[in-house]
Amino acid sequence: MMDIKDKTAALFIMPRSSRDWVGAEALWITVAGWSAAAQRRFGKAWVMTTDRIAAPEEVIHYPLGVNTSVAGTNKKGKLPWMPMFFKTFLKDIRLWRRSRNWDVAQQAPWRGEKVAFVWQQHDLFPGPGRKIANELGVPLVTYVHAPVVWETGKWGVKRYLWGWFLERFVERKALRESDVVACVSEEVARKLEAMGVDRAKIQVSAMAVDQHLFDKAGETQELRQTLGLQNAFVIGWTGSFRSFHGLDLLVRSFKEAHQELPQSRLLLVGDGSERPGLEELVHELGLQGAVVFAGRQPFAKIPSYVSVFDLAIVSARSAEGFHYSPLKLREYLAAGKPTLAPRAGEIPQMFRDDLHVKLFTVGDVKALASTIVTLARDANKLDILRTEGKKYALQTSTWDYELDKLINKYPG
């Protein structure tokens, strides 16, 4: 068990600036959740980036400087004539150079405090976590959503020879030097083992929820009215519009369900590269009045949008290679929303079908549509999912729960 007697603080490191990871807000939500749990446990917690040091309650507003009123999905990338692999190479060079600038660490408000551990988000190039942990004489915990070269390769990002070098000599080195490697799923754990990380160091720490944000979020009738959903049965989704979410399959399922449930509406909260194509599909299917695009919203507002949902959904294009742990799933459950989730990855093992969530088979458009219609007409089943799902989430899917697992398993 990690020795935390008399500890008064914890330090969290995100190896980029407070303005980075636009469209990947789950990374900021993760560190905000972990650090808030640590602040409740120890009394103090700081989140350090390359440009600032912040309190946990500030980080839920990251990335800073993002104009959420502008979708930005139709913009062409810079230098459209340049091969994508070369753009990736230049981005990696810039990221490496930025990773070497950590002057903000000189402020060190944690000096003089009894720090329990240093927690660092895994990235292509590591931050100063190992150095600071050594100075403080405390464990370094590295949190891994996924090894970067491996995950981006799944999305079609080509790094060729330098990707092999980065995975073997940069990512693997940083992970092996960590005292604890916490990762989001068993599939990621297996990949870490294959990279040479000692299994004894690895802990599966699924994505979780800050119950203090979602548990008490009451429905906002004004927001329902603003969105034109006053009398609708709202099927809701939040996230980034990326191909692996399979939102086109969700829209096609909704098309069939809507024919049986004309009062139903699909509310999509988020933005991303897939949005223009999705809007075209909605127009092609004649669903303009039934599908609402709410755009990207600051995370602090997401609980209000989720409060509008009558039925929440986690979507996926494929059950194969489903290595990530859906943050949105825990958020929906903690907010007391009946939730549809795919039979993919960790989900069927962690959540009980027909009690915590209602599972569906990925890619079966007609079956998902039928399930939506059946649930919408079954108030008793919705109530069971609402009650039992929330109870289970608050018992097993909070950041406090994951922090306790870390503390109880590993020695100081």
- For the whole model, what pTM was predicted? 0.88
pLDDT recorded at residue 73: 45
Domain assignment of residue 2, yes or no: no
User: Residue 256, Cα to own-chain centre: how many angstroms?
Assistant: 29
pLDDT recorded at residue 39: 97
pLDDT recorded at residue 345: 87
Q: Give yes or no: residues 267 and 204 share one domain.
A: no
Domain with 114 in it: what CATH number?
3.40.50
C-beta atoms surrounding 75 within 10 Å: 8
- Give the Cα separation of 133 and 91 in Å (integer): 28
Q: Give yes or no: residues 215 and 204 share one domain.
A: no
Q: What is the DSSP annotation of 245-285? A: G-HHHHHHHHHHHHHH-TTEEEEEEEE-TTHHHHHHHHHHT
User: What are the 10-residue block averages of pLDDT along the chain, 412 residues in total?
Assistant: 85 95 90 97 96 94 73 52 82 89 77 96 96 95 96 86 94 97 94 96 94 71 91 95 92 98 97 94 97 93 94 90 83 96 92 97 96 98 98 96 90 60
- Give the Cα separation of 11 and 55 in Å (integer): 10
Domain that holds residue 379: 211-396
Q: Give me 29's structure tokens.
A: 């939500």
Sheet with 180-183, strands from edge to edge, namely 53-54, 44-48, 9-13, 115-121, 140-144, 180-183, 202-204
Q: Which residues of 100-128 are buried (b: 16+ CB within 10 A; e: fewer)?
A: eebeebeebebeebbbbbbbbbbbbbbbb
3-state class (DSSP) for residue 99: helix
Q: Give yes or no: residues 254 and 373 share one domain.
A: yes
Domain assignment of residue 4, yes or no: no
Q: Give yes or no: residues 171 and 226 share one domain.
A: no
Q: Are 175 and 138 in contact (CB under 8 A)?
A: no
Q: Give yes or no: residues 112 and 242 share one domain.
A: no
Q: Give yes or no: residues 221 and 369 share one domain.
A: yes
3-state class (DSSP) for residue 312: strand
pLDDT recorded at residue 318: 85
Domain with 354 in it: what CATH number?
3.40.50.2000
pLDDT recorded at residue 104: 62
C-beta atoms surrounding 152 within 10 Å: 16
